Structure 1
Amino acid sequence: MTGELTVLLEHLHTERQHILAAVDGLVEEDMTRVAAPSGWSIAQLLNHLTYDDEIFWGCAIVGGDEEAVALLREGWKVPVTSGAQAVERYQYWSSRVDVVLAEADLDAPPRWWPPESIFPFPPFAQARHCVFRLLLETATHAGHLDMAREAIDGHQHLVVD
């Protein structure tokens, strides 16, 4: 593993821990009720992080994992069975992505790219770009979860006086 990859994975791990801290201790009702004007719940956001980020960018695109490719779907529309199950799925796929990324060649092209009819964007030239995208999405949605959590019970992730 290169130094660059080590740093990227450390930052990704930190943001994933931020995600889990933002939902820690919430009851089922808080996990599944609408948390934003657009209508998403915390569990739906976790589904999005799982399917559209971890599975899509990590396992499918960087790893070329056939199981991951078969699971691809609009993460926001994956039915929420429970908040706890959304957390478990997120943790499971995050750990699978860690295995893929630990062996990734950042300079190599992605091992898979979706057809243009499904994902009408040009392929990234390097796996590095996919890892950056995964990190960006994770950090962005950690902030969204902070706002949702603060609205629920006033909990704040980081308060600077």
Structure 2
Amino acid sequence: MTDTKLTGERADLLAALANARFFLRHTTQNLTDEQANQRTTVSELTLAGLIKHVTGAEVSWTSFIESNGYRMYWEEEADGDWSDTFTPKPGETLATLLDRYTEVAARTDHLIATLPSLDVAHPLPDEPWFEKGSWTARRVLTNLIAETAQHAGHADIIRESLDGQKSMG
């Protein structure tokens, strides 16, 4: 993160994001790559795929904060196919995905800690899945917290279906 001790709103928001990240990462502990890529429910989701997707979402949203415009990370990372954001490429092991997630998380934390204001806002892209208007850095961060927590819940179900391990309960 940063050398300075954060307090107040930023500290609280980053603590909430760190908590959601912890639970998501925790679901993958002691798994092989084969287990991390195994579908255990009717969903296409896997634990490795969730880690990859959430990492990409953080990259996209921090790019939005920094560059005055949202760029879907899968435009480059997944050959333009949204479903590929949940599918590790050959050579992307659970360990490499978790390492990348750690790097991205540190970058996000540093950005939020050093941003002049959480009120910086940019217009959302004109896409049917976005509301009309602008989002502040604060709104982006609350969205990241919600998305990470939601996927941590998905991961908990997948892990419990895999081997009975409960990471959240």
Could you say if the C-alpha distance between residues 125 and 158 of structure 1 is closer, same or farther in structure 2, counting changes exceeding 3 Å? closer
Q: Distance in 1 between matches of 2:10 and 2:82?
A: 26
Q: Distance in 2 between matches of 1:76 and 1:85?
A: 20
Q: Which runs of 5+ in 2 are unaligned?
A: 1-5, 76-80
Corresponding residue for 1:60?
63
2:159 — aligned with what?
Answer: 149
What is the match of residue 144 of structure 2? Answer: 134
Q: Which digits, 9 at most, give the CA deviation of each residue in 1:16-36, with x for residues without a partner?
A: 111111111111111112233
Matches of 1:98 and 1:117 in 2, distance apart? 27
Partner of 2:119: 107
Which structure 1 residue ranges, 5 or more long, are not aligned?
Answer: none
User: RMSD of aligned C-alpha atoms?
Assistant: 2.5
Q: How many residues align?
A: 154
Tell me if structure 2 keeps the 8 A contact 1:34–1:41.
yes
Identity %: 26
Match of 1:107, SS? coil
Letter in 1 for 2:111: V
Contact 2:41–2:161 (Cα < 8 Å) also in 1: no
Q: Deviations over 1:4-45 (max 9, x none)?
A: 111011111111111111111111111112233231221111
Structure 1 residue runs of 4 or more that deviate by more than 3 Å after TM superposition: 68-76, 117-121
| Change over 3 Å in CA distance of 1:82–1:114 after alignment to 2 | farther
CA deviations over 1:48-96 (Å, ceiling 9, x no partner): 10112x1112x21122299x94844356404513222221221111111
Larger helix fraction of residues? 1
Q: Which amino acid aligns with 1:60?
A: S
Out of 83, 88, 102, the residue aligned to residue 99 of structure 2 is: 88
